[in-house]
Structure 1
Amino acid sequence: MDNPVQAAIFRAMTLDHDILIVGGALNGPALALAASRAGFSVGVIDTVRLETYKDPAFDGRAYALALASQRLLKGIGIWNSIAAHACPMLEIKVTDGVAGQGPAPWMMHFDHAEIEEGPMGFMVEDRHLRPAFVNALENDPNITVYAPETVVSQTTDPRGASVTLASGKTLTASLIVGCDGRKSGTATRAGIKRTGWSYGQTAIVCAVAHEKPNGGIAHQFFMPHGPLAILPLNGNRSSIVWSETDSRAKECMAMDDDAFLEALKPAFGSFLGDLELEGKRFSYPLNLTLANSFIADRVALVGDAAHGMHPIAGQGLNAGLRDIAALADVLKEAHQTGQDIGAPQVLARYQQWRRFDTATLALATDTFNKLFSNDNPVLRSVRDFGMGMVNAVPGLRRNFVREAAGLTGDLPSLMRD
């Protein structure tokens, strides 16, 4: 149809939803709720039943949410239901060294008191965050969840997009959004290729209980084989993200709990007292993967479907939530001005907003990992001197704090105060 008004009427009369979201883990529900609040009809397709995400058992997983991401969760109606379980991150301490030998004398220390907005972020456990999303989806009349379902094909044309599910059902919309991870089927079906490489590292994720309080302090300890992040949880507990070589991580995952803790202690240290494992251990191979385009005909990618990066700065989920806030702004503006939300010029605005920033962040984490994940004495001297210089300059420290809080750059409306 050449007439845009006729095309709009056709879409309104025949499409099942305005937006179809493929993937229902974290980014998918967040986008669905943001889109619903902008007045869109949304379908969420996931391979897992929603009830599965309501399991209250603690499995050890937790997420570092920057302050800007907390604002988004507040804006889409999630934060109030998880606030009591969130642990504020008040300080970040970054050190360099070798397991068993302690950290080098130089370090970076960032304090939330250096900015006016509040804590740099919050740690939220998976067992609280996912059920909150599920409850919100179930109670939103603008959102329909199709689960368990798998997309087997997708097509687009000037009038809209459609997906066919494994059950045989066909759904139509103006736009398909891939929230389906680093091996995004949505991206593959749209012909979007990826660029990236493996780090030869695996992240071990778990939680530990300890004798002494964590003080709301997040620690990042760089070691030759990879960094260890110790992130504060409520009570005398911390979340662990331990990056090791693939072979060493495989050995650690095969250990029983006691042996694993003995392997962890040289890197963790004794500053929080005796340790006890809480919940399960998970492992994830680490790689860099960037979609060569964040958009295609009536398709947009967000989160890991668009960019997967090293967890060295804990920015993976935060970058995805920033994608969501930006896409929500772009689609809302397009809708308010009578544009087709799946039109190329609309999606191009989203890509222009997010692709450079996420590529820059991914390459920055890649560079940091390569700079710190080695035992080269020359590089160690350079990086330790650099950390000392940053720590000695208040303006640089403040910039790092604001960056960690997600308050820099062109903030979407859901992430503004």
Structure 2
Amino acid sequence: MSQSYDIVITGGGMAGATAAISFAQLGLSVALIEAVEPEQELSTSYDQRAVALSASSVAIYRSLGLWSELESVACPIKNIHVSDQGRFGFTRLAASDYLIDSLGEVILLEQAGPILWAALKQYPLIDIYCPAKLEKFESEKNYCRLTISQSTQTKDSDTENNQQLSTIDASLMIAADGTYSRIAETLNLPINREPYHQHAVIANISTDKKHDNHAFERFTNEGPLALLPLTANRMSLVWCHKPENADEVMAWDDGHFIEALQQAFGYRLGRITKVGKRYQYPLSLHHAQQHFSDRVLLFGNAAHTLHPIAGQGLNLSLRDIAALTDCLSNACLSNSRLSEHAESSRDFGNGEFLADYIQSRQADWQQTIIATDSLARLFSNDFLPLALVRNKAMNLINRLPFVKEQLANAAMGYSGFSSRLTRGLANQPIFKASK
């Protein structure tokens, strides 16, 4: 017998978990399917990477009632310094210039995961299937049916050796299963994929000077470099290298790595004293050309994976969540396509409703993707004339308050986007619980 829900979400990373909580607050029943518990080392959703939450993303988490817990492990960004190695040009953004406390907050995924999952378990309308694997799915006229498998233990064994199959029905399936989405592949949804021919080397470092809540973007001979402030005076490093150089960088001992990083970044934070475990992954732009089909909606990295240098990937996904939450609320309150009174009309997967959501997001997607892609390519190009123009442009921007304000608004996630959650309005339970 199938278990029925309003929405099923495949993928329990930051985007999937946050979406589940937001939708449950509206009174919707949600099934969340995830392969790996967030505390396990195998989890790629909640590893040692850091994410920079824009001011609008912080507002979303505050409206959802989650920020008080997340704030305890977050570090505010009060200044952003952008520079080019070997040249004098720079741009600086300061929260104090706009009479705000911070431009954003930095949080480690491995610390955010347990907080979000603890919150998920507080909602009776959310059922978590984890660890679980999606075996197959099929779309019917009024619902999507998923078959999942879960490992179970026998009484006489500590090993997971039995596979239990379950069937789930939902009006809408949200595919938040990552950049290389199996669901998107199964549906043959067209995805624009453009490799950057770079690998990101990431690590956490310590320096002998306090970071004072500064974030740094520096464009080096090897590739773009970002340092984000963390708690305990640590910094999160993202350093982009050509693929043929990345393996060599990973093989360096800590002393060699620190020396090379020091030369590339300089001494704004004094001496680099320690580097943690290093990781690397290839970088590419992934953007869905078609976001939904047959009651399935792509979400998170499955819909758009961006270059990390501008830190906008997760922030864009959180704005997607805020926008879809608004669409669900508006559709119910206007009684135009959904009704809280007629069970048969709780059709969250119908094409017309999803098309309206997609239309509402197109401008933000295009602006963010173009800006991030242009920035990544511009500052990865060491062609001398272009580098000189880039350097002069940074100096010019630093002298133009209006342009700097536009950049600050974009960095904070407020450039042309507004929703109830970003305005500080908490979700209200407007649907009758169907669970």
- Please say whether Structure 1 and Structure 2 have the same fold, judged by a TM-score greater than 0.5: yes
User: Corresponding residue for 1:10?
Assistant: none
Q: Which of 386, 398, 402 is the equivalent residue of 2:393?
A: 386
Indicate conservation of the 8 Å contact 1:60/1:280, yes or no: no
**Is residue 284–residue 305 contact of structure 2 (8 Å, CA) maintained in 1?**
yes
Equivalent residue number for residue 127 of structure 2: 144
Describe how 1:319-334 pairs up with structure 2 within 5 A.
319-334=316-331
Deviations 1:132-172 (A, max 9, x none): 01100122111111011111221112211111113421111
Secondary structure at 1:286 match in 2: strand
Runs of 4+ in structure 1 displaced over 6 angstroms?
A: none
Contact 2:38/2:113 (CA < 8 Å) preserved in 1?
Answer: no
Describe the SS at the equivalent of 2:88. strand
CA RMSD of aligned residues (A): 2.1
Aligned 1:182-331 pairs, distance under 5 A = 182-331=179-328
Secondary structure (helix, strand or coil) at the match of 1:414 reads coil
- 221-230 or 351-360, which moves further after superposition? 351-360
Residue 405 of structure 1 corresponds to which residue in structure 2? 412
Distance in 2 between residues matched to 1:388 and 1:232, nearest whole Å:
24
SS in 1 for 2:40: helix
1:259-311 per-position Cα deviation (integer Å, ceiling 9, x unaligned): 32233221122221222335422212000111111121211112111011111
Inter-partner Cα distance in structure 2 for 1:232 and 1:45:
32
SS at match of 1:105: coil
CA contact (8 A) 2:287 2:305 kept: yes
Q: 2:22 aligns with which of 30, 34, 37?
A: 34
Identical positions, percent: 35
- Structure 1 contact 308–362 (Cα < 8 Å) conserved: no
Gaps of 5+ in 1: 1-12
Could you say if the C-alpha distance between residues 328 and 54 of structure 1 is closer, same or farther in structure 2, counting changes exceeding 3 Å? farther
> Which residue of structure 2 aligns with residue 16 of structure 1?
4
Q: Given residue 112 of structure 2, which amino acid in structure 1 is its aligned partner? A: L
Greater CA drift, 291-300 or 21-30:
291-300
Note the C-alpha offset of 1:23.
Answer: 0.3
Quote the offset at 1:227 in angstroms.
0.6
Question: Is 1:105 aligned to residue 105 of structure 2?
Answer: no
Partner Cα distance (2:11, 2:180) in 1: 12
Give the TM-score normalised by structure 1: 0.90
Match of 2:432 in 1: none
CA distance in 2, matches of 1:111, 1:54: 38
Is the helix fraction higher in 1 or 2? 1
Q: Is contact 1:226–1:242 with CA below 8 Å preserved after alignment?
A: yes
Amino acid at match of 2:200: A
Kept in 2: contact 1:213–1:235 (CA 8 A): no
**Structure 1 stretch displaced more, 261-270 or 380-389:** 261-270
Q: Deviations over 1:390-411 (max 9, x none)?
A: 1111111111111111112131
Amino acid at match of 2:126: I
Which residue in 1 is equivalent to 2:69? Answer: 81
Aligned to 2:161: none
Q: Would you say 1:72 and 2:79 are equivalent positions?
A: no
Q: Distance in 1 between matches of 2:309 and 2:80?
A: 13
User: How far apart are the structure 1 equivalents of 2:143 and 2:372?
Assistant: 37
Matched, 1:415 2:422: yes
Structure 1 residue 31, shift from structure 2 partner: 0.3
CA contact (8 A) 2:254 2:275 kept: no
> Which runs of 5 or more residues in structure 2 are unaligned?
150-163, 340-344, 425-435
